[in-house]
Structure 1
Amino acid sequence: MASSGSAIRKAIGRTLAPALLLRSANAFSAGMAPPAASPAATAGDPHVWLEDVLGEKPLAWVDEVNKKCIEHVGDPKATGAYRRIKSVLDSKEKIPHAFRIGNGDGSRYYNFWQDADHVQGIWRRTSLESYKTKEPEWTTVLDLDALPPPTTGTAKTWVWHGSTLLDEGPDKPADRALIRLSPGGSDADTCREFDLNEERFVDPVSEDGFALPDPAKTRISYRSRDEVLVGTDFGMDGSTLTDSGYPRVVKSWRRGTPIEDAVVVFEGEQDDIAASMYAYHDRGHVHEFQLRSITFYTSKYFYRPLTVDGIAGTTCDEETTPFREVPIPEDAELGTFADMAMVTLRSDFEAPGGVVFGTGSLVTLPMSDLMDGDWTGAVSLFAPTPSRSLSGTTECRDYIILKLLEDVKTRLEFWRFDKSSRKWTRQDGGEDADVPVGQDVSVSPRGRDSSADNALWLFRDGYLVPDTMEMASAEDCCAVTEPVKAKPAMFDADGLIVEQRFAASKDGTKIPYFVMRREDVVMDGGNPVLLDAYGGFEISMTPGYSAGVGAGWLERGGCKVIANIRGGGEYGPGWHQAALKENRYKCFEDMEAVARDLIDSGLTCREKLACIGGSNGGLLVGNLITRPIASRLFGAAVCQVPLLDMKRYSHLLAGASWMGEYGNPDTDDWSFLRRHSPYHLLRHDILGKPEPGDDGVLGGATESTDAGWECPRTLFTTSTRDDRVHPGHARKMVASLLEEAGPGRAPRVLYWENTEGGHGGAADNSQRAYMWALTYNFLAKELGLEE
């Protein structure tokens, strides 16, 4: 829900998650020292010095191992894979996704675009009529390549982090925006106010424009034209941040006043993940929320209703309407639609009056009733089944559109809201409500103001099906559409098929997975296969067109497999919770089951099977190459921007924010975290290195104690600019493999660290092409594919 607190919380969650991919973000940007290492956590760790991200000695080590990596794999820029992937990324035939700003005659469709001519990118606009043509006439609004370069650490380029619009209600123009730019791709970014009419930044001195030039993990949004709500590293000393390095203090900042005079309006707790505050217009109603993100999955909401005149005429600190805590479970998500509350449940909930709503349900009731604890009028718009889950929601003026997954196959469901009766009516979907295996469909409002009308963009794609974009309407459930854009095939998919299979995990749970392969492939165990998964943070791995996978891997004869293992969200919150904390091993067992199934089916063999994963998926890969069973199932691996030292993770950058997912290593949780920490499994179980701590031992031996262990051939990649998952994880693991395991037990370990890119690993198309060409060339070399 675009204007809802739920959407804002989800956006915050995506940023906090190590996916997709501070104490403090500014430790890199401001040259601060790295976090102090506790004696218990680092005793006996000879590689802890590599946690000094910008230290001269660690960077020299990075330079040395980077060179050895390129010497072995070869210069990616000299290969066909680089040229193919770069051409795909720079292609002017990609669909330029655009969304309307403004609702009147002067509205325009805006798009952010990168190609070979616009390396850092441009923000541009056009009319709808022009956008619908094959070659729209674009007007550049902001050219990032024309800006003076950043001067932060190793950053050399700006990375677009998006815009936040001024919203004064449906009858007022959106003529101002807050533009966020990141130096080098870090999560920490800068912010400046932008005039959409004059297409220029608003000067902070002569015109009192809002500006935050120092990179930080900031949360900022308009409350009214002359007031913003901002949470940041006030003073740049960390005192207003949580232990996770995110804003703890929110202030009301009035136009024309220095940030030092901003007034505190909300504070979270020190051990919260973050505190935020936001106000917005919603179909004639105005809502204001305060939010304490206590853990990754629990929050406390505080609410007050406002009026259009009230929010425009009274600043946040002067508003007398009190906030009240919203009486919902702490693990529920909350949004609004007009004056209705939209509550998404992550556990079973018995509402006042005795009605029970199940885990994964979406429930709606009047916001005023919710605040009074009256659930008699509550309606469930969605209730899950063992095979069916709610993947996401989209809203337009009169509709909520539910995106549902049935065994990881998409279906859209439309619900219409009647303002006069405050009733919801389910409407049947059009002919295209269901999609084939390996394909996907989604919708979004055409405008940044989702409440303006019922017009939608309808998107379709699939693993082998290029993106298309159509104009549609929620009023007929997208039954009648107008094609607008279609991406041409970016790789040769002739003869390729997608199939869905299921593997039985160790406990009998059926694990779905998708296989992309040639239809005439011989099942003789000789096919190179790349197995990809994530398995965390309730993130679903759903079908989507990846020209990079196609050009870099499928065209060369490789097979690609996507595993929907537990820890993700493919079957709702329960699927995710099945692999939380002490049950983390379930997602590793799921991967082992899929790998065995691929081998037993004759599609591949151990020598031809590789795994790949990034961020939380990097933790997954780290466990696969150190577990006694998994390490014998894979011949190669790619471990990207990973978590690996689970004793230190909560003390490094944003790590403390993920304790709801993994556990707290400074408590008794270490007894199970120890079994999921690849760095410890390697050094202490496999290699027998001492593991002293305050109590004499950090943990007991695990099943990874294996005298016959040999590391699969592995490429590790990360970024110096990653201020979400500390690059020290990958650095230390590689150092141990190279120096302590040695070539006898780790025959081929390669490492590549980009000096830019943030958690995504790359800052522009050239860097992305380099990273992926290196990855696919490594895999091709190890699994026996030709260039």
Structure 2
Amino acid sequence: MRFMTAALAATLAVAAHAAATDPHQWLEDVTGDKALAWVRQQNAKYLPELEAVPGFAAWRERAEAQLTDPRRIAMPSGAGGGSVTATQVHNFWRDKANVRGLWRVTSRAAYDAGKPEWTTLLDMDALAKAEGANWQFGGAECLPAPATRCLVGLSDGGKDAETVREFDLATRQFVPASAGGFVSPEAKQTAAWIDENTLLIASDFGPGSLTTSGYARTVKRWTRGTPLAAATPLLTIAEGEMGVWPAAWGSGANRRVAVSQRTGFWTGKMLHLMADGSLVAGPLPDDADVQFIAATGGTPRAYALLRTDWRQFKAGSLVAYPVPTTGAMPAESVALVYAPSGNQAIAGVDATDAAVYISLLADVAARLKRLTPGNEGWGQADVALPANSAVTLAGSSDGDDSVFFTVAGFTDPNRLMLAKSGAAPATIASNPAFFDGGNFTVSQRFAISKDGTRVPYFIVRPRDAKGPLKTLLWSYGGFEIPLTPAYAGPDVQFWLEDGNQYVVANIRGGGEYGPSWHQSALLENRQRSYDDLHAVAKALKREKLASKIAVHGRSNGGLMAAVAYTQRPDLYDAAMVGVPLADMQRYHLLLAGASWMAEYGNPDDPKQWAYIRQYSPYQNIRKDVKYPRVFFYTSTKDDRVHPAHARKMAARMQEQGHPIYYYENIDGGHAGVANLKESAYRSALMLAYLNRELGK
């Protein structure tokens, strides 16, 4: 290179400085002998200390009993969008006897009656034993009936990367490549059926085939009976874009196949596969979020949520456009389906051949609407809900216009409900109550953030409690994901039963109030999320509701928890930092990190690093500051958020003499656990930590 721009020189200087000042960069070698030896040393040092806390064994046993309880709801799952049809329901089930789980199926009639009769399709424990691998079920994508073929993802230890194998539902066997089956080796990959003998597949095709984010650059058309290497390229994107993901919806003449080309986390195009094999872009702006394609009212349409105002449509609206098999899709073809108003935000969307269903949030309270197409636009009707519920759409089916959804609250167990053609919903199944919710109260309050924004938060506390309580504060604040009321898991239940308090903070960066709530905390405004969290914590102490506060979050929430205690060690008395981002100077160089630069910014740009640097936890640990004793937990096989974030935070704090706890699960993927036993163990570790650091 003959000339070097000032921007490039600054970028190289930042990178060189990071390498020179980071003595723990060797911990980024995920499975290196030296790094794994360090991990095992940390586990051996800290886990016995937590396991020795009185109550640990009982918490672990109770948590495992709950998580594996056979009375739990068998949710529609395991077969992607085809988990529910008019004739059958698929389910993926794990319990004490089936640690890795069973993929199974029952008739719709039996399921709707609350008396499913399950037939096992795939026993993951048996498969793992037979093949000597720690297989985890990654889900399946099936052809519409009467076809019997599915593509099954198998993950080693819970990684995002999967092996894909074709499965025959009729024989309940994998179809080997030697018999013409589709088999693709481990990669972060996605495949979609065009028809019974043809796939679109985006995968790792060798050197140069992945983006800087680690996702596929190329989509290929793969014909049965030919090797993957001979598949025909359909689309290749630039290395600096995020990735490509093929998908398919519908059946018969209404089947539609498309490719999502993501230029960044929040931008991209939906490219529709035409009858002649070409790809044609949909008409929406690049930041629209296409949900699915459905033939509601007999016309295949793509349904999308708008993140910004566009044409006559407001940000947060649900819009749709027809998807033909030939010709263009002009902007004029886009029509409004539903526009939220006031404090509303659309949290979820599903559809049948007769109606579209949307779950709404209004100050984080749930509503469910049924929308039907007509000559004068979309008709609207409310679906009746139990009071004070959180709603999650769980599946739908054509033919009988059925939608399944769950309702739950912090102290009310999940109920699975079924609504048909707008009729009053019926309860199909309910989870058992694992604790007496009547002993607790749930309330919503609002804190005032640094810039005057009202920030909602929920408080769950013992009914007769007076005065401040030890508090577990959970939050997330990122990627447009809302936190809604959910039935307390084992760790939260046991914490509440001991007379303590649980708080959920709906900070900016999430999706509680639609796109604007998220966008207000992007990039240079990220600090607003943390200001919101601090405002909630200060309100809890100022109003004498909380004595001591332990903050907890995972992934982006792990970043939040790390920022919380590094910025305000005086405000937080403990912190559980789960599978976190933490070194924000190098996050974009680690695994999928480059795909999140639209959320956080590019640290190689000196102007952007200037604001990222202000909150990046790894760069803000100080030797002369007294921090709470933090609990870091992560997973070696997390191939989304690199385990080095937690490793390096722990190592730097130890280097400076700060006491910590550390746990790294050798398996588990981004969830941090690979099975229900590991989930129960981690719950017990968390309770041990909370009781040890905040006092029994």
TM over 0.5: yes
Tell me the residue number matched to 2:225: 256
CA distance in structure 2 between the aligned counterparts of 1:598 and 1:283, rounded to whole angstroms: 57
Tell me the residue number matched to 1:695: none
Would you say 1:241 and 2:197 are equivalent positions? no
Note the 1:225-624 alignment, pairs <5 A.
225-235=196-206, 238-281=207-250, 284-306=253-275, 319=276, 322-334=278-290, 335-338=292-295, 339-350=300-311, 356-367=312-323, 371=328, 373-375=330-332, 378-418=334-374, 421=375, 424-432=377-385, 436-437=387-388, 439-446=389-396, 450-473=397-420, 475-476=421-422, 478-479=423-424, 481-523=425-467, 525=468, 527-605=469-547, 608-624=548-564
Would you say 1:654 and 2:592 are equivalent positions? yes
Superposed CA deviations along residues 355-387 of structure 1, whole A, max 9, x for unmatched, are x22111122344469945352x65422223341
Shift of 1:191: 1.0
Tell me the residue number matched to 1:681: 620
Cα 1:522–1:675 shift into 2, 3 Å: same
Cα 1:546–1:157 shift into 2, 3 Å: farther
Tell me the residue number matched to 1:47: 24
The residue type equivalent to 2:189 in the other structure is T
Q: Match of 1:110, SS?
A: strand
Shift of 1:458: 3.5
8 Å Cα contact 1:298-1:332 kept in structure 2: yes
User: Which residue among 119, 135, 151 is the counterpart of 1:178?
Assistant: 151
Tell me the residue number matched to 2:644: 728
CA distance in structure 2 between the aligned counterparts of 1:223 and 1:372, rounded to whole angstroms: 21
Higher relative contact order structure (alpha carbons within 8 Å, sequence separation ≥ 6): 1
Q: Match of 1:349, SS?
A: coil
Tell me the residue number matched to 1:771: 682
CA distance in structure 2 between the aligned counterparts of 1:370 and 1:258, rounded to whole angstroms: 32
Shift of 1:636: 0.5
Tell me the residue number matched to 2:9: none
Cα 1:640–1:102 shift into 2, 3 Å: closer
The residue type equivalent to 1:49 in the other structure is W
Aligned residues: 672
Superposed CA deviations along residues 508-559 of structure 1, whole A, max 9, x for unmatched, are 1000000010111111x3x110000000000000111133244332222221
Superposed CA deviations along residues 205-239 of structure 1, whole A, max 9, x for unmatched, are 1x211112x3210111111111111111113xx42
CA distance in structure 1 between the aligned counterparts of 2:479 and 2:489, rounded to whole angstroms: 26
Shift of 1:758: 0.5
Cα 1:324–1:730 shift into 2, 3 Å: same
Q: Match of 1:675, SS?
A: coil
8 Å Cα contact 2:212-2:240 kept in structure 1: yes
CA distance in structure 2 between the aligned counterparts of 1:621 and 1:482, rounded to whole angstroms: 40
User: Which residue among 83, 92, 111 is the counterpart of 1:112?
Assistant: 92
The answer to which of 242-251 and 366-375 deviates more is 366-375
CA distance in structure 2 between the aligned counterparts of 1:725 and 1:102, rounded to whole angstroms: 29
Tell me the residue number matched to 2:162: 189
CA distance in structure 2 between the aligned counterparts of 1:130 and 1:230, rounded to whole angstroms: 35
8 Å Cα contact 1:552-1:773 kept in structure 2: no
Q: TM-score when scaled to structure 1?
A: 0.81
Superposed CA deviations along residues 109-129 of structure 1, whole A, max 9, x for unmatched, are 221111110011111222334
8 Å Cα contact 2:160-2:669 kept in structure 1: yes
CA distance in structure 1 between the aligned counterparts of 2:95 and 2:246, rounded to whole angstroms: 36
Note the 1:705-744 alignment, pairs <5 A.
709-740=625-656, 742=657
CA distance in structure 2 between the aligned counterparts of 1:370 and 1:385, rounded to whole angstroms: 35
Superposed CA deviations along residues 314-355 of structure 1, whole A, max 9, x for unmatched, are xxxxx35x43333321111234333334332111112xxxxx
Cα 1:372–1:720 shift into 2, 3 Å: closer
Q: TM-score when scaled to structure 2?
A: 0.92
Superposed CA deviations along residues 427-456 of structure 1, whole A, max 9, x for unmatched, are 321442xx544x31344444xxx4333022
8 Å Cα contact 1:363-1:378 kept in structure 2: yes
Cα 1:104–1:241 shift into 2, 3 Å: closer
Cα 1:195–1:659 shift into 2, 3 Å: same
Q: Match of 2:382, SS?
A: coil
CA distance in structure 2 between the aligned counterparts of 1:652 and 1:102, rounded to whole angstroms: 34
Superposed CA deviations along residues 548-593 of structure 1, whole A, max 9, x for unmatched, are 2443322222211000000000000000011101100001100110
CA distance in structure 1 between the aligned counterparts of 2:327 and 2:546, rounded to whole angstroms: 55
Tell me the residue number matched to 2:3: none
CA distance in structure 2 between the aligned counterparts of 1:736 and 1:204, rounded to whole angstroms: 49
Shift of 1:75: 5.1
The answer to which of 260-269 and 639-648 deviates more is 260-269
8 Å Cα contact 1:465-1:545 kept in structure 2: yes
The residue type equivalent to 2:544 in the other structure is G
Among all aligned residue pairs of Structure 1 and Structure 2, give the percentage whose two residues are the same amino acid: 38
Cα 1:458–1:654 shift into 2, 3 Å: closer
Q: Match of 2:563, SS?
A: helix
8 Å Cα contact 2:319-2:335 kept in structure 1: yes
Cα 1:174–1:417 shift into 2, 3 Å: farther
Would you say 1:62 and 2:50 are equivalent positions? no
Q: Match of 2:670, SS?
A: helix
8 Å Cα contact 1:382-1:390 kept in structure 2: no
8 Å Cα contact 1:88-1:548 kept in structure 2: yes
Shift of 1:622: 1.1
8 Å Cα contact 1:202-1:208 kept in structure 2: yes
Tell me the residue number matched to 1:26: none
Cα 1:132–1:81 shift into 2, 3 Å: same
Note the 1:25-174 alignment, pairs <5 A.
39-74=16-51, 79-98=57-76, 107-131=87-111, 136-149=116-129, 157-167=134-144, 172-174=145-147
Cα 1:469–1:305 shift into 2, 3 Å: same
CA distance in structure 2 between the aligned counterparts of 1:621 and 1:762, rounded to whole angstroms: 19
8 Å Cα contact 2:105-2:118 kept in structure 1: yes
Cα 1:655–1:263 shift into 2, 3 Å: same
The residue type equivalent to 2:532 in the other structure is D
CA distance in structure 1 between the aligned counterparts of 2:594 and 2:457, rounded to whole angstroms: 31
CA distance in structure 1 between the aligned counterparts of 2:447 and 2:341, rounded to whole angstroms: 20
CA distance in structure 2 between the aligned counterparts of 1:598 and 1:181, rounded to whole angstroms: 45
Runs (5+) with no aligned partner, structure 1 = 1-36, 307-318, 351-355, 688-706
Q: Provide the alpha-carbon RMSD of the alignment.
A: 2.4
Cα 1:39–1:539 shift into 2, 3 Å: same
Superposed CA deviations along residues 220-263 of structure 1, whole A, max 9, x for unmatched, are 1111111111111113xx42111111000111111111111111
CA distance in structure 1 between the aligned counterparts of 2:115 and 2:249, rounded to whole angstroms: 36
Tell me the residue number matched to 1:219: 190
Superposed CA deviations along residues 397-439 of structure 1, whole A, max 9, x for unmatched, are 2101111110000111111125xx5x5432321442xx544x3
Superposed CA deviations along residues 684-725 of structure 1, whole A, max 9, x for unmatched, are xx34xxxxxxxxxxxxxxxxxxx5x21112100000111111
CA distance in structure 1 between the aligned counterparts of 2:40 and 2:394, rounded to whole angstroms: 44
Shift of 1:283: 8.0
Cα 1:427–1:652 shift into 2, 3 Å: same
8 Å Cα contact 1:359-1:384 kept in structure 2: no
8 Å Cα contact 1:184-1:758 kept in structure 2: yes
Cα 1:104–1:716 shift into 2, 3 Å: closer
Q: Match of 2:345, SS?
A: strand
The answer to which of 270-279 and 75-84 deviates more is 75-84
The residue type equivalent to 1:413 in the other structure is K
CA distance in structure 2 between the aligned counterparts of 1:224 and 1:47, rounded to whole angstroms: 50
Cα 1:63–1:121 shift into 2, 3 Å: same
